[in-house]
Every structure is written in structure tokens, then in C-alpha cells.
Structure 1
């Protein structure tokens, strides 16, 4: 009788890459589809101040770029104007309304939860790096029931700097107990990829995000079609790092 192969019992170098990895995720447009609640808050804020409401498609162009970007996108479609003071007031109203109903329509993107648990089970550290304020980030993570997935999480105001400043990533990785050379940024926007580039780490752009720039044009090291691909992409990208060091 042939002896069973020992090949499967050994820990492969690729397995070690996952075990040593720190995976830094963006929030809006990367792990969670938050557009519906943000669009609703924008239109309610506009209507309350006497402006016309805009189509979800128009406002969606600003999702991922902040409250003012969403409002400007809406006003462009309705051909109305707001001065800076009005825009600031509208933005404050939008955020207040959004906080009250932060996870009514919001859902996690398909496959994220399964792959997050799988990667953690293989020893990877997960971290969250978002330009949402820390208050909104904390509330949304709690509402979605995923706060415990992350070793560390940082919002726009957690540190004195935020994406695209690379220190938003490097400080977060240190907080998570990871090592920067073995970190990978997963995001959907120009700010995510620029921060990763500045930090000197690999970057993955998701195809299904909110950026106005197509994922292929963001300059990431790889483009993610679905979360099922993530472990293989991480191993491939960190394998390059290992071969270069």
C-alpha cells in the first residue's frame, strides 16, 4: 500500500504569506454598499432646504468623495445653485440625517464576510481604513455586526491625517500589530491607491466600487472582480514582495 503523501501536511510558502499579511480595507464601495442610505440622506437634506431632489444615478457620482461632492452632483443635475454657506449647511444636514439611518439600505458586498472569516482563520490581520469620520465608521460597523473582524480601524479623524496621506495606512497597520511590507490595501478610489503607493505597499482595486475612474485606470497592482479571488491575489502580490526582499 502506498504511503499517504506528506505534501499536504506541510505549510507552503504561500500559506505563510497569508499568515503574515495585514489586509487593509476601505469601507464605502469596497466592503459595504452604502450608496442607498447616502443618496437618501442627500435628497432629504436638499428637499428640506427647498431644493429639488436628484436622481440616485446623479448623486451616486459623488458617493465616495464626501457629502459636498454628492450635493454638487445633485445640484448639477437639477441645475440649481448653492453658495458655499448653503453647501456647508446642506452637508451638515446630510450627515446628521445619514447618521440617523446609517444602515437601512446598506449591505455588505457579496462574499466579503466569508472571505474575511477565512483569511482571519488562516492568520491574516484585517484592518479598516476609511475617510468616514470615526463616529460614523464605528456606528456603521456596529450596525453591520462586523466590528470584531478588524484588529484596528481608523476613520478620517482618527489621526491628524487621512487618505491619500500614506500615514493613514502605515499608522493603522502598526496599530493592528502588522508589518507594513506585508500589508495590502483593498479599495475602490483614487485616494486608496495613492495612499497605498505612498506607503509602498501593494494595492488591489475593486471593480464594483464608487470611483469615477474605472478600476483598471486607478493604477492598482490588481483588480478584484469578486471577493472569492482575494486570497489568491494577496498571495500573488505578497509573493512578489518576498521575492524582492
Structure 2
């Protein structure tokens, strides 16, 4: 492939299993309010919507008030705790590093397009010694837009030095699929991430269950580029 061939990854639930540290921060916030832990499944399914949404949903599930003032206060505590404990249990998904190595050898470059704030995304990937693998790491604060706005993806591609017609999105949720569709970019879904609706039902162009399947999926979607 050419050097311009670019894989753009979502972060939470796609590249990195971050749920343990995110839910730990959520439960820390709830405990400070004298509340029980959040439902694990519900918390995981809300990760792609951001920390505020996780807090709001947890409060609603516990039949607790979720006023803007309360959520703002809890969000500040959440972010402080999470930043200080960002990679305690978070880790790359199995097979990811080997897949990136092989695809890099084949000429692919990589970028991250995440709705996690960029400084936190960089800090997480730094802690896991992964940042250098990506041409750019773009959060909603990077361009002032967030997925599913297609400009988040398109501007990430441009910032990474890629071409929109030679890029593939990899993600774990409807937000990622909707973003890719709006940007006219092929999309590979992973079925091990954080989503309320199974990825099989969302309908990405291709679906993988392990990163050892990524190369074949990338090869299949990129074949028309060589035509």
C-alpha cells in the first residue's frame, strides 16, 4: 500500500480496554455521594458517550437527581481521579500490537479519532507506550467537533497526512459507524467494545472479533484502491 493509506481507530473499546479504570472512577464518584456502585454493563455501554453521560446514566439508574450543577461537580471529581489512575488496569486488546506491526510493515499509517479529550487520550497512550505509533491523536477538543460529525474524522485524516479516499475507520459503536458513513469512509467494526446495540446489528462494512482478523479485513476493503 502507499504511505497515504491510513487506518483511523476509535480509542475506548476499540484500541484499548479502558472500562476497568473508567468504571473505577465512576464508582469513586458515586461512593463520595454515599451511593452504591454503578451497574457494570450499563456503565460499559455508556463509555462511548463520554464521562458526563456515564455519570448522568448512573444517577438516573439509582433514581438520583442529575441536575447540571451536580453533574458538573461530579464530573470534575471524576476527571481528576481518572487522570491520576488512567492506566491502572487499561490495556491494549489482544493481538493489537502484532496487527499494527504487520500493517505498518505493509505501508499503513495510523491515527486515533476519539471522543475522549485529547490530553487524556495522549496521556493514556503515553502510559501504554503507544502514542508514537499514531500520526495524530484527535479528540473532540482538537477541532471543536466530535463524532458522529464527519469533520472529526475527515480532519483527523488530513492532520495525519492521509487521504480521505485511502482511509478506513475502525470502531466499536454506532457513533463510529455513523461517522464513517457520513464521511464516505469504509468502516470495520469490532464486536468486543462498548455498545448498547450489538455491532452485528449496526452493520459496519466488515466485522472482526479479534485483531488477528484485522489484516484480512483491511485488505478486503482496500482492494478497490488498487483497481
TM class by shorter chain equals: over 0.9
Structure 1 segment 61-210 matched on structure 2, within 5 A: 61-210=45-194
On the 8 A contact 2:118/2:142 being kept in 1, the answer is yes
Rounded to whole Å, the distance in 2 between the matches of 1:127 and 1:169 is: 10
Rounded to whole Å, the distance in 2 between the matches of 1:65 and 1:158 is: 17
Rounded to whole Å, the distance in 2 between the matches of 1:154 and 1:182 is: 18
Moved more, 64-73 or 229-238: 64-73
On the 8 A contact 1:51/1:80 being kept in 2, the answer is no
User: In the TM superposition, what is the alpha-carbon distance from 1:242 to its structure 2 partner?
Assistant: 4.7
Equivalent residue in structure 1 for 2:17, among 24, 33, 51: 33
- Taking structure 2 as the reference length, the TM-score comes to 0.94
User: In the TM superposition, what is the alpha-carbon distance from 1:27 to its structure 2 partner?
Assistant: 0.3
User: In the TM superposition, what is the alpha-carbon distance from 1:78 to its structure 2 partner?
Assistant: 2.7
Rounded to whole Å, the distance in 1 between the matches of 2:36 and 2:22 is: 16
Is 1:22 the counterpart of 2:6? The answer is yes
User: In the TM superposition, what is the alpha-carbon distance from 1:165 to its structure 2 partner?
Assistant: 1.0
User: In the TM superposition, what is the alpha-carbon distance from 1:170 to its structure 2 partner?
Assistant: 1.3
On the 8 A contact 2:189/2:208 being kept in 1, the answer is yes
Identify if the C-alpha distance between structure 1 residues 160 and 55 changes in structure 2 by more than 3 Å, giving closer, same or farther. Answer: closer
Identify if the C-alpha distance between structure 1 residues 20 and 236 changes in structure 2 by more than 3 Å, giving closer, same or farther. Answer: farther
Is 1:214 the counterpart of 2:165? The answer is no
Moved more, 125-134 or 212-221: 212-221
On the 8 A contact 1:184/1:202 being kept in 2, the answer is yes
Rounded to whole Å, the distance in 2 between the matches of 1:74 and 1:198 is: 31
User: In the TM superposition, what is the alpha-carbon distance from 1:155 to its structure 2 partner?
Assistant: 1.1
User: In the TM superposition, what is the alpha-carbon distance from 1:54 to its structure 2 partner?
Assistant: 2.4
Structure 1 runs, 4 residues or longer, greater than 6 Å off: none
CA RMSD in angstroms comes to 1.6
Q: String of CA shifts for 1:106-153, please: whole Å, max 9, x gaps.
A: 011000011011111111011111111111011001001000111111
Q: Between Structure 1 and Structure 2, how many residues are aligned?
A: 227
Rounded to whole Å, the distance in 1 between the matches of 2:104 and 2:4 is: 11
Moved more, 73-82 or 220-229: 73-82
Secondary structure of the structure 2 residue equivalent to 1:186: strand
Return the index of the structure with the highest Cα Rg: 1
